[in-house]
């Protein structure tokens, strides 16, 4: 019967001991004696096996027979002691002989005891138990020590992380606060207030003015209850007055000075940091430590330098902005003066042309000359008006006379005024207006000017034979007016700049299309005065342009709906809105539904469908899924379900796809039914009849 090399029970915190003997019967006896001690008892039949086990795991005690074949017990013990991890493992030698020399050799190898065979069970158990208990206490002490070290390291790491996080949060908040203003004095006040008390007990920020002079400083000090007191002081006064010479040197050199120890001051340490941007010193930050008893550490100095760099960037931005504003003001004043001076000679020229119109001309050449003068005078007058209006807008001197205005009537009248001009340039004008009023609050004259400028701009950049279209729609709480043309279009990078004054889309040398680039700048300025917005759209050069202005409607009843005309007496008649981008498909469905007694409206895009639903109030919407323009059928359904006024409408989806996944997507978007193209009209009639 063989003895297993090792046991398999390693659960919990059980301690392992190693029995080494070449005789299976002796191993069995030893195991039997020690079984009551709740140990993992592992056996080895030779010194070599014992060494392999010692290499793999740790033992509380090793019971080692001296008389082993091959490598004996003493040699095995020497190898065990030679390994660092097992050098202090207690070894009890088991022997049948009383040999003093052998005892001395065993003890020199680290043996803790000898047990003679035959073994007395009580003695063996007692000695092993003492050593096992000692091992357990040692392991527990080691674990506690490791836990304390780990806890200390964790606490130190947490404290360092929290301090780093606190500093980063301070820097981020300070940077955000400094970037909020483009006024240099406000930036100086913000910097001083942020530094105290986080980095100093006292701080002063001096702006550097012309010729390197120090301006009035923003002074912040820590109050007795943790608050920050903010005042202003001249460079010659205040707590940092004794350091003015050093501050001036730092302005000249651009190098900071840290840890200055004053001779006679309530401050025990002063640091001065220049605010430098693009090689130019824009200000100086002086900080002092006193009542708190703090001193600046290396991380504090780094943080001071970082916040000073952000403040310098903010001051540089403020300086650049101020320069731009001054240049803009000078340009605006020049434009106003130029426009005023040009108006003086224009007045008699216009009057002279009117006089010529009343006199019978002596020949065709005079008629032609009169018309040329009249047209050019009108053109020049238009340019002067634009110059004046742009300068007035820039100075905030345009006052609006706001009153309720019907955009439908205003657009109809303004496009009528421009129809002849467009016709003269061989341009076809189309106007698409709602059949009900679109009321806004505005200055009718200025709104007409906006529409006129857009039409004039479209005519100027569209070649003969082209088209100009005007479309007005009311949607939600706003009205959208779009003026589109088939003209030269524009590149994508021009879309964001086209409303800037003096921006020219036509960059050719001949400047054949003329203009100062002011018309669209006026449009934007006037629209913003009406609390509206304007944007330009173009697919690229040669693909035309679309200008869209949006204005707020008056009241919740922005576009009141007329009572529906219900001439059909059929009990199955419904108001049906068909949203389908294919014109022929939409029209054929409209005709078919109308022939069966339904009142039908059609729309060719998602947004147009939403607008139509709000004024038409349909009971049923039949909507194509694949709509163009950025709003597909799913978007339309979701938008209608979110709108309380449209949420109860029955929605029928039209799609070329009819798998279960397609139907599931329709249901998720809010559709009640899903029809597959080509639609079986009997199925559609059934759905309409069940509504």
Output the pLDDT for position 563.
38
Output the pLDDT for position 653.
92
Q: Which two three-digit tokens encode residue 358?
A: 């009343």
SS3 call for 575: strand
Backbone angles phi, psi at 198, to 5 degrees: -60, -45
Contact between 272 and 246 under an 8 Å Cβ cutoff? The reply is: yes
Q: What one-character DSSP code corresponds to residue 232?
A: E
Output the pLDDT for position 556.
41
Output the pLDDT for position 192.
87
Domains (range + CATH), the chain: 16-142 (3.40.50.2300), 176-324 (3.30.450.40), 403-552 (3.30.565.10), 575-689 (3.40.50.2300)
Among 2, 12, 91, 7, residue whose Cα is nearest residue 42: 7
477 vs 479: CA distance, rounded Å: 7
Q: Which two three-digit tokens encode residue 671?
A: 């559709």
| HSE-up (13 A, CA, CB side) for residue 293 | 0
5 vs 56: CA distance, rounded Å: 13
Spans of the chain below 70 pLDDT: 1-13, 224-226, 262-266, 332, 335-362, 370, 374-392, 394-395, 397, 501-517, 555-572, 656-660, 678, 680, 691
Output the pLDDT for position 326.
82
Output the pLDDT for position 506.
54
Output the pLDDT for position 607.
92
Output the pLDDT for position 511.
41
SS3 call for 492: helix
Count of beta carbons in the 10 Å neighbourhood of residue 192: 27
Output the pLDDT for position 508.
45
403 DSSP β-pair partners: 442
445 vs 442: CA distance, rounded Å: 9
pLDDT digits (tens, 9 = 90+) for 629-678: 889 999 999 999 999 999 999 999 988 665 667 889 999 999 999 987 76
């Amino acid at each position: 019967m063989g003895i297993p090399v090792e046991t398999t029970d390693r659960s919990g915190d059980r301690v392992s001991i190693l029995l080494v003997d070449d005789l299976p019967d002796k191993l069995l006896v030893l195991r039997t004696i020690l079984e009551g001690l709740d140990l993992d008892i592992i056996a080895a039949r030779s010194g070599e096996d014992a060494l392999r086990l010692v290499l793999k795991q740790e033992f509380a005690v090793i019971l080692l027979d001296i008389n082993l074949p091959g490598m004996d017990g003493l040699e095995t013990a020497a190898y065990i002691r030679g390994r660092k991890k097992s050098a202090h493992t207690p070894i009890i030698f088991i022997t049948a002989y009383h040999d003093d020399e052998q005892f001395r050799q065993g003890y020199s190898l680290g043996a803790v005891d000898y047990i003679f065979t035959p073994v007395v069970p009580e003695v063996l158990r007692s000695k092993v138990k003492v050593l096992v208990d000692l091992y357990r206490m040692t392991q527990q002490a080691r674990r506690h020590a490791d836990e304390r070290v780990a806890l200390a390291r964790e606490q130190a790491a947490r404290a360092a992380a929290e301090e780093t996080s606190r500093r980063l949060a301070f820097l981020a908040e300070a940077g955000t606060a400094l970037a909020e203003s483009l006024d240099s004095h406000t930036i100086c006040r913000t910097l001083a207030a942020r530094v105290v008390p986080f980095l100093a007990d006292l701080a002063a920020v001096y702006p550097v003015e012309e010729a390197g002079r120090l301006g009035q400083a923003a002074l912040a000090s820590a109050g007795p209850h943790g608050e920050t007191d903010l005042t202003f002081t001249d460079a010659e006064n205040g707590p940092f007055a004794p350091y003015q010479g050093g501050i001036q040197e730092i302005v000249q050199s651009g190098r900071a000075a840290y840890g200055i120890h004053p001779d006679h001051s309530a401050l025990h340490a002063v640091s001065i940091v220049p605010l430098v941007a693009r090689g130019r010193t824009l200000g100086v930050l002086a900080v002092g430590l006193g009542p708190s008893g703090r001193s600046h550490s290396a991380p504090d100095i780094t943080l001071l330098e970082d916040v000073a760099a952000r403040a310098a960037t903010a001051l540089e931005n403020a300086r650049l902005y101020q320069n731009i504003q001054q240049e803009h003001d000078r340009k605006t004043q020049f434009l106003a003066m130029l426009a005023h001076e040009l108006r003086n000679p224009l007045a008699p020229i216009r009057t002279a042309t009117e006089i010529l119109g009343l006199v019978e001309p002596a020949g065709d050449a005079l008629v032609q000359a009169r018309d040329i003068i009249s047209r050019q005078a009108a053109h020049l007058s238009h340019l002067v008006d634009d110059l004046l209006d742009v300068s007035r807008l820039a100075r905030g001197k345009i006052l609006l006379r706001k009153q309720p205005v019907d955009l439908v009537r205003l657009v109809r009248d303004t496009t009528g005024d421009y129809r002849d001009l467009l016709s003269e340039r061989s341009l076809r004008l189309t106007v698409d207006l709602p059949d009900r009023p679109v009321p806004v609050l505005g200055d009718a004259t200025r709104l007409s000017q906006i529409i006129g400028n857009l039409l004039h701009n479209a005519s100027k950049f569209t070649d003969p034979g082209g088209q100009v279209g005007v479309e007005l729609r009311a949607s939600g709480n706003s009205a959208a007016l779009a003026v589109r043309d088939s003209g030269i279009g524009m590149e994508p990078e021009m879309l964001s700049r086209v409303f800037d004054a003096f921006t020219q889309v036509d960059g050719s040398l001949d400047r054949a299309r003329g203009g100062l680039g002011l018309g669209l700048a006026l449009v934007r300025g006037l629209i913003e005065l009406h609390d509206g917005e304007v944007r330009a759209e173009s697919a690229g050069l040669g693909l035309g342009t679309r200008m869209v202005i949006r204005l707020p409607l008056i009241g919740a009843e922005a576009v009141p709906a007329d009572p529906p005309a219900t001439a059909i007496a059929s009990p199955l008649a419904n108001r049906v809105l068909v949203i389908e981008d294919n014109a022929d498909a939409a029209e054929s469905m409209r005709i078919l539904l109308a022939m069966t007694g339904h009142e039908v409206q059609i729309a060719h895009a998602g947004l147009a469908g939403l607008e139509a639903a709000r004024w038409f109030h349909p009971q049923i919407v039949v909507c194509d899924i694949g709509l163009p323009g950025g709003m597909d059928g799913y978007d339309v359904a979701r938008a209608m379900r979110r709108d309380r006024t449209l949420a109860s409408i029955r929605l029928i989806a039209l799609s070329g796809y009819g798998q279960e996944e397609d139907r599931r997507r329709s249901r998720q978007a809010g559709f009640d039914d899903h029809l597959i193209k080509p639609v079986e009209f009997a199925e559609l009639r059934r759905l309409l009849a069940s509504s």
